[in-house]
Structure 1
Amino acid sequence: MMTRFAKSEDGSTMVEMAIVSTLLFALTLGFVDFGYALYQWNAATKAVQYGARLASISDPIVTNLAAAAPTASPGAPIAAGAYGPFVCQYTGATGGCSNGGTFSATNFSRIFRGDTAVTNNDICPTITAVQRLTMRPGMCHFFPGLHRDDIVITYTATGLGYQTRLGGPVPTITVSLKNISYQFFFLGGLFGFGDMTMPSMLSTVTGEDLKVAYP
């Protein structure tokens, strides 16, 4: 009896299937999670690209930007490093700019939340198809789950423009994200796979005639 039991292969297929199914299940969910991570990467990239473009044609977050640029020699080039750099960001509920920059919560909100209901909060509003005809979306509409304290906007003097220019100084504007992590749902919940920090990404453009008007 024991010999026959030891040689029996009944149920072996079920055991093998259980082992293979576990591996296949983990592999399939891994593909789903890493596919979603790729989506997050692409969304974050589009958000900073759009945010930089929007910042280049919107009122600067640094409201004293024009006054910070030199004006003693009308028509003379503005040297690199003549003002700033002004690094503007939120820390919790408080926004500010470095190097004595005066922070505008309204102007920051316009870049983060778009033209709809520009208010000082961290909520991303819904924009209808009709509203998109006359209103610009914000960075949060390109990257769902983005918070305003994830965004860093920097205005730098890189030698562009001239003193007393009618449209104001011509800063180089960089929009970047900080403290963003890839979210792994299946791998994190089932296998304890920790979230991975997304590499810092940024987009840099040249400021134009900074204004609020819809382009």
Structure 2
Amino acid sequence: MTVRSLPFDRRGSSAAEFALVLPLLILLLFGIIDTGRFFWELNRSEKATQMGARMAIVTDPVSPDLVGASYVSGTIKAGDVIPANQLGTVKCTSTGCTCETAPCPSGGGTVDSAAFNLIVARMAKMNPLIAANNVVIRYSGSGFGYAGAADETMDVQPLVNVQLQNMQFRPIALLGFGGWNLPNASATLTAEDSSGSISN
């Protein structure tokens, strides 16, 4: 083959075209896989919060101040239904509980670590990457419950919201060099017996 005939030689054209298209094909393939993985992780987060909320409404409350709170006052007598506005929003994380919206039960903002860890452990069965710092639990007034209950459970039956936040998604198409936070997942249920450490 002479130098003059080289520009007209077509024997390697298929290989050159394939080499140009292959990276785009691989990127498209991994993009499709990552899209499926993203929605899988999103669904797992939502199911984990639902499991956490179910656990939270049937076991001991994370905020011990809710158990000892009395709602008997000048306008509410023992046995009366507790209005929703008698409990604001108590926000609990693994480090403590704070009053997000007043009124809240008085107390030191302590958190029942055993109760909190039970909820996190239940959620981690759905997604093992869930850690305590990813979970936020809120209690707010629901309009259920009777003032002056004689037992050692909560008088009020609050709405219990379990939120999962700051969960990372790392696409394989970026080879682990990047990622982003999944949207926060949240589930809310009304408290049931709120006593004990076992859930179905």
Give 5+ residue unaligned stretches, structure 2: 100-106
Q: Using the alignment, how far apart are the partners of 1:183 and 1:3 within structure 2?
A: 51
Q: Is the 8 A contact 1:69 1:78 kept in 2?
A: no
Report whether the alignment pairs 1:109 with 2:93: no
Q: Using the alignment, how far apart are the partners of 1:177 and 1:77 within structure 2?
A: 31
Matches within 5 A, 1:161-172: 161-165=145-149, 166=151, 167-168=153-154, 169-172=156-159
Report whether the alignment pairs 1:148 with 2:132: yes
- Match of 2:78, SS state, is coil
Q: Which residue matches 2:79?
A: 75
Q: Which residue matches 1:211?
A: 195
The residue type paired with residue 68 of structure 1 is A
Q: Using the alignment, how far apart are the partners of 1:146 and 1:66 within structure 2?
A: 27
Give 5+ residue unaligned stretches, structure 1: 114-137
Report whether the alignment pairs 1:89 with 2:93: yes
Deviations, residues 77-111 of structure 1 (Å, cap 9, x unaligned): 21223134111113xxxx10002443111111111
Q: Is the 8 A contact 1:87 1:154 kept in 2?
A: yes
Q: Is the 8 A contact 2:142 2:190 kept in 1?
A: no
Identity across matched positions, percent? 29
Q: CA deviation at 1:210?
A: 0.8
Q: Is the 8 A contact 2:162 2:186 kept in 1?
A: yes
The residue type paired with residue 111 of structure 2 is F
Q: CA deviation at 1:207?
A: 0.1
Q: Using the alignment, how far apart are the partners of 2:5 and 2:144 within structure 1?
A: 89
Residue 174 (structure 2) aligned to one of 188, 193, 200: 188
Q: CA deviation at 1:196?
A: 2.4
After TM superposition, which residue ranges in structure 1, 4 or more long, deviate above 4 angstroms? none
Deviations, residues 131-161 of structure 1 (Å, cap 9, x unaligned): xxxxxxx111101211110000101112222
Indicate how the Cα distance of structure 1 residues 33 and 189 shifts in structure 2: closer, same or farther if over 3 A, else same. same
Q: Using the alignment, how far apart are the partners of 1:74 and 1:81 within structure 2?
A: 17
Normalised TM-score (structure 1): 0.79
Q: Using the alignment, how far apart are the partners of 2:70 and 2:7 within structure 1?
A: 88
Q: Using the alignment, how far apart are the partners of 2:57 and 2:17 within structure 1?
A: 60
Deviations, residues 31-54 of structure 1 (Å, cap 9, x unaligned): 222222222111111100000000
Count of aligned pairs: 184
Q: Which residue matches 2:166?
A: 179
Q: CA deviation at 1:10?
A: 2.2
